[in-house]
Amino acid sequence: MQILDGKQTSSTIQDEIAAEVAAIRSAGGKIPHLAAILVGNNPASEAYVRNKVKDCERVGFGSSLFRFDETISEEALLDKIREVNENAEIDGLIVQLPLPAHISAEKVTETLAPEKDVDGFHPVNVGRMAKNLPAYLPATPYGILELLKRYPIETSGKHCVVLGRSHIVGSPMSILMARNDNPGNCTVTLCHSRTKDLKAQTLQADILIAALGIPEFVKADMVKEGAVVIDVGITRVEDASKKSGFALRGDVAYDEVAPRCSWITPVPGGVGPMTRAALLLNTLDAAKRSFY
Ligand code: GUN
């Protein structure tokens, strides 16, 4: 069994981006700038946004964080997004999810200018992705593709089973792994809460991508010998032995599953850092006007 080291790979990507920013700077070009909108004070969301800002600093990007109380009206939030759309200094914008119940995530997503939608959530970017046109890819699937590409893991002709059909991970992941591209060219099965005999499906997987958000759901008897296992889960569980008071748990029961795998991502240090690196790659493409 070998580890797919997302932390190391993400650090390499950050170094590559930093070198490109330095070159842009000396050529007098536009320094990439990412803006994040955070509504309320969900601790996980605060941590994600803090890390995104920190990552920008590390590679030399500019960044802006706009914070709002959870009582902000939907219209006021949409106005802020329209303002950022018009701000030529800002190349990419993310609105951290989840949002309070009185705000429609769909309206928020569709108000973002597609050319600044570095999360890849706008229907225009989702459609472009599905057609294999140049587009921002959602950060977690994009990060997983980069990880597979850089090791490299052969995906062509393999059976990829994706667990979870979220719009952020499972659904786009299933589309991307089936595309005629590298990584890609998989036969894909997308499983979800209504799937019957899940184990019969997961045992077929050469590549198993777990993105359901249920800690340690994938057990050893669900995994084929020699499979590549990608664990997207990062559920916070209380852990008094940790200084922070919590630990992160993946969707895979790592200790029992790892010995069966050819490759596996750890939690933490697997998919999480790759998601962060992918957002930086998208922001760089936004500044370079790569797709629009
Ligand atoms: N919440 C969980 N994942 C994401 C993500 O990739 N982007 C945003 N904006 N919010 C999230």
Residue 134 lies in a domain: no
**What's 241's domain CATH number?**
3.40.50.720
Q: Do 100 and 147 belong together in one domain? A: no
The atom number, within ligand 1, closest to the CA of 36 reads 9
What confidence score (pLDDT) does residue 19 get?
A: 98
Q: Is 119 a catalytic residue?
A: yes
Residues contacting ligand 1 via CB (< 6 Å): 94-97, 119, 139, 168
* Enclosing H/E stretch for 207: strand 207-210
Q: Do 103 and 149 belong together in one domain? A: no
Q: Do 175 and 260 belong together in one domain? A: yes
Q: Express as a percent the part of the chain with pLDDT over 90.
A: 99
The alpha carbon of 45 and the centre of ligand 1 are apart by a number of angstroms equal to 8
The atom number, within ligand 1, closest to the CA of 98 reads 1
How confident is the model over 103-132, as a mean pLDDT?
A: 98
Residue 66 lies in a domain: yes
How confident is the model over 234-238, as a mean pLDDT?
A: 92
Q: Do 186 and 267 belong together in one domain? A: yes
What confidence score (pLDDT) does residue 29 get?
A: 95
What confidence score (pLDDT) does residue 230 get?
A: 99
Catalytic residue among 5, 55, 91, 119: 119
Residue 152 lies in a domain: yes
How confident is the model over 85-114, as a mean pLDDT?
A: 98
The token pair that represents 28 in the structure block: 């007098």
* Ligand 1, atom 1, residue with closest C-alpha: 97
What confidence score (pLDDT) does residue 69 get?
A: 98
Rounded to whole angstroms, how far apart are CA atoms 71 and 263?
45
Angle at CA 224, nearest 5°, toward 138 and 251? 45
Q: Do 233 and 162 belong together in one domain? A: yes
Whether residue 165 is annotated as binding a ligand: the answer is yes
Q: Do 255 and 150 belong together in one domain? A: yes
- State the pLDDT confidence band at 241, using cuts at 50, 70 and 90: very high
- Beta-carbon count within 10 A of 54 CB: 11
Are 187 and 158 in contact by the 8 Å Cβ rule? The answer is yes
Residue 1 lies in a domain: no
Residue 172 lies in a domain: yes
Q: Do 107 and 153 belong together in one domain? A: no
* Ligand 1, atom 4, residue with closest C-alpha: 97
The lowest-confidence range among 5-14, 139-148, 241-250, 264-273 is 241-250
Residue 51 lies in a domain: yes
Q: Is 221 a catalytic residue?
A: no
The residue count for the chain: 292
Whether residue 143 is annotated as binding a ligand: the answer is no
The atom number, within ligand 1, closest to the CA of 275 reads 6
Residue 241 lies in a domain: yes
Q: Do 250 and 204 belong together in one domain? A: yes
Q: Do 94 and 197 belong together in one domain? A: no
Q: Do 253 and 157 belong together in one domain? A: yes
pLDDT in tens, 187-230: 999 999 999 999 999 999 999 999 999 999 999 999 999 999 99
Whether residue 120 is annotated as binding a ligand: the answer is no
What confidence score (pLDDT) does residue 185 get?
A: 98
The count of structural domains within the chain is 2
Q: Is 52 a catalytic residue?
A: yes
Residue-range definition of the domain harbouring residue 50: 29-113
Q: Do 191 and 144 belong together in one domain? A: yes
What confidence score (pLDDT) does residue 250 get?
A: 98
**What's 63's domain CATH number?**
3.40.50.10860
What confidence score (pLDDT) does residue 114 get?
A: 98
What confidence score (pLDDT) does residue 123 get?
A: 98
- State the pLDDT confidence band at 159, using cuts at 50, 70 and 90: very high
Q: Express as a percent the part of the chain with pLDDT over 70.
A: 100
Q: Do 241 and 150 belong together in one domain? A: yes
Residue 183 lies in a domain: yes
